[in-house]
Homo-oligomer: A and B are copies of this chain.
Amino acid sequence: MGTRHIRAVITMSLESAVQIVAEVFHKYAGEDEKKNTLNCEELKKLLEAECSKKCGAGKMKCLMKRLDENKDGEIDIVEFGALIGMMAKKESCS
């Protein structure tokens, strides 16, 4: 029997992107007792596992400082959205 090729064109919506952002955020934010924020270590793990980005201590410190708008030492999901925006900016320039 001949092989048949099925080419599925999957158009992903902005809403599916929002869902992925929520899922990935909570996958790592939930590791410590503060379930709705990412600490530095959790963000580092997320970047390594989800974006293959290895960041040293210095770079993580800068990133946390840049994202942590309310200065509580952690990154909430809206602050994490700004990181998605930064990645999208890089994506646009690549």
A77 to B89, CA, bound (A): 6
> How many of these chains are in the complex?
2
A88 touches B92 (CB 8 A): no
The residue in chain B whose Cβ has the minimal distance to the Cβ of A91 is: B22
Instruction: Known A14-B51, A15-B51, A20-B13; judge A85-B78 contact (CB<8 A).
Output: yes
Complex contacts, A77 vs chain B, CB 8 Å:
85, 88-89, 92
A50 touches B85 (CB 8 A): no
In this assembly, does A82 line the interface, its C-beta being within 8 Å of a C-beta of chain B?
Answer: yes
Complex contacts, A85 vs chain B, CB 8 Å:
21, 76-82, 84
Q: Whole-angstrom distance from the CB of A69 to the nearest CB of chain B? A: 9
A12 to B50, CA, bound (A): 11
